[in-house]
Amino acid sequence: MSKAQNQGEGDYEAAERYTNATRKFVASGKVETAARAAAPTSPEEAAALLRAAGRDRQCVKPQQPAAKLLPKPG
């Protein structure tokens, strides 16, 4: 598929690039270092991150149980 073509939601080439890059990063042994560098540096920063994550969850529409999404028999 040419680079100019849009693959839509099923962008398999992008998914493969992401998977390969993730595997390479994990194999590099730098995961723990990166995790430590990304960790909050103060209790205030940790609290702010938790508040932001809570706001994100409030904005998401609750998922309906799968049974409600299926057509009724008959």
Cα separation, 30 vs 39, in Å, equals 14
Name which of 35, 40, 64 is nearest 51 in CA terms. 40
The answer to whether the CB of 7 falls within 8 A of the CB of 13 is yes
pLDDT digits (tens, 9 = 90+) for 44-54: 999 998 888 88
pTM to 2 decimals?
A: 0.52
C-alpha distances in Å from residue 24, one per residue of 8, 15, 34, 66: 26, 14, 14, 36
Mean pLDDT taken over the chain:
80
pLDDT at 72: 67
Q: How crowded is residue 27: how many other Cβ atoms within 10 Å of its Cβ? A: 9
pLDDT digits (tens, 9 = 90+) for 5-23: 666 677 888 889 999 999 9
pLDDT exceeds 60 at position 3: no
